[in-house]
Amino acid sequence: MSLLAQLVGSARGVTARSLLALPRPVVRRLAGAPVVIDGRTLDPEMQLLLRLQRIEGPAVETLPIRKGRANVVSATAVAGGSQPIGAVTDRTIDGPGGPLTLRFYTPRGLTGDAPALVFFHGGAWIYGDLDSHDPTCRFLAEEAQVRVVAVDYRLAPEATFPAAFDDVWAAWTWVTEHAKGIAIDPSRIAVGGDSVGGGLAALVAQRAVGEEGIKPAFQLLIYPVTDVAGTSASRTTYAEGFYLTKAFMDLGGESYLRGDEDLADPRLSPLPQDVTGVAPAYVVTAGFDILRDEGKAYADKLRAAGVPVEYVCEDGLIHTFVNMVGVGRSAPKAVRRAAAALQRGLS
C-alpha cells in the first residue's frame, strides 16, 4: 500500500485541504514520480489530488447524472473552502424557459455603481450550478473588487441545445438593461466563465457585436470550450487521467446536442465564428487539460483579428483549478492572476 493510501485509509478526517497544506517536499513525495508530458511537468498538488480522486471513487462519467451533480457540489465544498464575501443575494428573472436565477456577489467595502462580471459556470452542459461555483465567484469578486453575477442556466439532458445559450444571453441582456438599478457601472461589465461556461461567455461576446445594447467591456475565459467537435491534439493527449476526460465531454455533448446538425450553429462553438470587434480578453488554459489547445487556438484567433488578448497557460495545472481556490497554493495563485487581469480589464 502506498504512503498516500495509508494516510487516506487510516484517517478519514484527512482531507485534500489538509494534505495540500503540508510542506511542499512532503506533497511532492506523496504525489509520486513526476509526470512530464509535452515538456510540461504536472504540479505535485494536482498530481496528489488526482491520486486522491482515483482512491476515493469511480470516474464521474460512470455515475448517474443526479449523483454526479451532487458529488460536484460536495467536492467544491472541500476544494473551494469558505471564501469571505461582503454580501450574496439571489434574484429570479423571467428566462426563455421559465424562471432563471441569478446570484449576486458584492465584495467587502464595495459601494456605489461598480464594475461587474457576468459569470457562467462549467460542467459539460450537464453539471454545475450556483453552488458548484460559489467559492469561485466569491474569490473572483473579492480579488478583483467587482460585483459578480452568476447565472443558473438550464442543464442537459433536461434542456437541450440551445437552452444554455438562450439562458445566458437572456441573463446578459437583463443585467445590462438593469445595470443602474443593481449598482453596476454599465460601461464596465465583463462576461466570463470556465470550461463550457467560458465557451458560452465567448458566444455572448460574439453575439453582442451585432446586437443593440451594451457590449461586454472584457472577457474572462477560463479553459473555454471553443470547439465542440473536439478536434485538437490535447483532446487525445489528455483523454483520461487528468480529471476532465474525453468520455465525460462526449457524454455532455451527447446529452446537450440534438444531432450533428447543431455543430454548425453559431450558438455552439466560438472558434469557427467571426470574432471581429469582440471585447478584449484574458484567456487562460491548464497545461494538463483536454481543452488546452482549443483555448489557445481561440486566443490566437482573437489576436489575428486585432482583438487585445492576453493568453496564459498554467502549465502544471489541470482542468477545474478554478474550483480549487480553497486548497493548496498553485490553483489559488492561478485564479488570483485571472482576477488581476479582470480588474485591469475593467479599470
Instruction: Decide if 74 is catalytic.
Output: no
Nearest CA to 141 among 347, 343, 344, 301? 343
Q: By the 8 A CB rule, do 296 and 285 touch?
A: yes
Instruction: Decide if 289 is catalytic.
Output: yes
3-state secondary structure the chain: CCHHHHHHHHCCCCCHHHHHCCCHHHHHHHHCCCCEECCEECCHHHHHHHHHHHHHCCCHHHCCHHHHHHHHHHHHHHHCCCCCCCEEEEEEEEECCEEEEEEEEECCCCCCCEEEEEEECCCCCCCCCCCCCHHHHHHHHHHHCCEEEEECCCCCCCCCCCHHHHHHHHHHHHHHHCHHHHCEEEEEEEEEEECHHHHHHHHHHHHHHCCCCCCCCEEEEECCCCCCCCCCCHHHHCCCCCCCCHHHHHHHHHHHCCCHHHHHCCCCCCCCCCCCCCCCEEEEEEEECCCHHHHHHHHHHHHHCCCCEEEEEEEEEECCHHHCCCCCCHHHHHHHHHHHHHHHHCC
Which residue in 195, 255, 269, 330 is the catalytic one? 195
Which residue in 131, 234, 319, 330 is the catalytic one? 319
Instruction: Decide if 178 is catalytic.
Output: no
Cα distances (angstroms) measured from residue 32 to each of 2, 20, 177, 203, 319: 9, 14, 52, 40, 20
Cα distances (angstroms) measured from residue 321 to each of 133, 148, 203, 242: 11, 19, 22, 11
Which residue in 43, 227, 289, 293 is the catalytic one? 289
Q: By the 8 A CB rule, do 193 and 122 touch?
A: yes
Cell of 294: 482549443
Question: What residues are labeled active site?
Answer: 195, 289, 319
